């Protein structure tokens, strides 16, 4: 009877110990670093990956990624002509391992919302306002904007522990009227290029026929020059000979000299 009464207590104590042990263990992944915060105060040591023991009642393990992070945002970008262009943008950045404590101390754990995004929005607005909306739709204009925004963010975040690797623009949505106008312009340019190709082909064909006609003319002139009276007489004799060898019925119109009537 006493054993049965002690069993629930043993299980309860074991459960409390297990929960405490689980709460006392912080896991840091291989692409992160950890910093202890005890009673609101940050530790001065950076923890590497693995399991770390902490006091769950007084200490919290803050983790900071040191891998390349893809932060995705969607913004309305102002253009030079006063339009707004919607775009999805990826900001690729990496945190310097040695500056993790400084970032948490100076900016806090919400560094993306409190620092990176405001710097990005200011930079992209300054740069995009210098370009026309149609430039953002082209590969060259988009590349220039990406490079300019990346450089501005690097300048403004220099020395803060953030390495801005790149800014990538995608899924750019132009205003409906402008998008339709660009499509019509592209279609017109393609049609113009097609007509230029057709005209070029026709010109080449005309040149070919001209060359062919010139060749036939020159060939006929050469043949005409070679048709002397002696040659004509020889050809007539050959024609009579071939006709004489034939067994088919035939009617020959001749002046007695040639098998065909030939006018001088």
Task: Count how many Cα atoms sit within 13 Å of the Cα of residue 133 in the half-sphere of its side chain.
Answer: 21
**Coil, strand, or helix at residue 260?**
coil
Torsional class of 36: left (φ above 0), alpha (ψ -120 to 50), beta (otherwise): beta
Task: Count how many Cα atoms sit within 13 Å of the Cα of residue 244 in the half-sphere of its side chain.
Answer: 7
In the predicted structure, residue 3 carries a pLDDT above the cut 50:
no
Q: How far apart are the first and last CA of the chain?
A: 149
**Which token pair is 118?**
């405001």
Average pLDDT over residues 155-170: 93
Contact (CB, 8 A) for 168 and 90:
yes
As a CATH number, domain 69-176 is 3.30.479.30
**Coil, strand, or helix at residue 6?**
helix
Contact (CB, 8 A) for 161 and 102:
yes
* Lowest-pLDDT choice from 60-64, 74-78, 106-110, 132-136: 132-136
**How distant, in Å, are the alpha carbons of 175, 192, 208 from that of 188?**
20, 6, 30
Distance CA 183, CA 109 (A): 45
Average pLDDT over residues 204-230: 78
- Confidence (pLDDT) at 6: 54
- Confidence (pLDDT) at 264: 46
Residue 116: DSSP 8-state: I
CA 208 to chain centre: 42
% of the chain exceeding 90 in pLDDT: 34
Residue 165: DSSP 8-state: E
**Which token pair is 218?**
């020159």
Residues 175-184: contacts with CB under 8 Å, at least 24 apart: 175/83, 175/84, 175/85, 175/133, 178/83, 178/133, 178/134, 179/137, 182/134, 182/137
Helices (H), the chain: 2-23, 100-106, 111, 117-128, 133-137, 139-156, 176-226, 229-245
* Lowest-pLDDT choice from 44-53, 159-168, 188-197: 188-197
Q: What is the residue extent of each domain of the chain?
A: 2-65, 69-176, 227-264
Spatial CB neighbours of 77, under 8 Å, sequence gap ≥ 6? 84, 85, 86, 87, 124, 125, 128, 136
In terms of pLDDT, which residue wins out, 232 or 62?
Answer: 62
**Which token pair is 18?**
């297990």
Residue 227: DSSP 8-state: -
């Amino acid at each position: 009877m006493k054993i049965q009464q002690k069993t629930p207590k043993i299980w309860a104590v074991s459960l409390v110990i297990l929960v405490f042990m689980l709460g006392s263990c912080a896991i840091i992944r291989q692409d992160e670093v950890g910093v202890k915060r005890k009673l609101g105060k940050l530790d001065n040591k950076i923890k590497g990956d693995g399991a770390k023991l902490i006091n769950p009642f007084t200490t919290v393990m803050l983790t900071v990624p040191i891998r390349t992070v893809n932060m995705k945002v969607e913004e309305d970008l102002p253009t030079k002509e006063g339009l707004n262009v919607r775009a999805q943008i990826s900001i690729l950045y990496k945190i310097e391992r040695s500056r993790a404590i400084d970032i948490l101390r100076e900016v806090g754990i919400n560094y993306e919302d409190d620092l990176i995004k405001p710097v990005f929005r200011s930079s992209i607005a300054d740069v995009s306002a210098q370009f026309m909306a149609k430039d953002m739709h082209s590969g060259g204009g988009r590349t220039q904007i990406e490079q300019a925004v990346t450089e501005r963010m690097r300048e403004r975040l220099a020395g803060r522990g953030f390495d801005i690797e790149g800014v990538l623009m995608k899924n750019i949505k132009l205003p409906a009227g402008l998008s339709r106008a660009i499509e019509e312009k592209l279609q017109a340019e393609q049609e113009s290029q097609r007509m230029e190709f057709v005209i070029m082909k026709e010109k080449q064909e005309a040149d070919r026929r001209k060359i062919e006609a010139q060749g036939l003319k020159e060939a006929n002139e050469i043949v005409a020059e070679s048709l002397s009276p002696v040659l004509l007489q020889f050809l007539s004799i050959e024609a009579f000979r071939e006709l004489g060898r034939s067994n088919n019925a035939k009617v020959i119109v001749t002046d007695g000299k040639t098998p065909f009537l030939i006018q001088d």
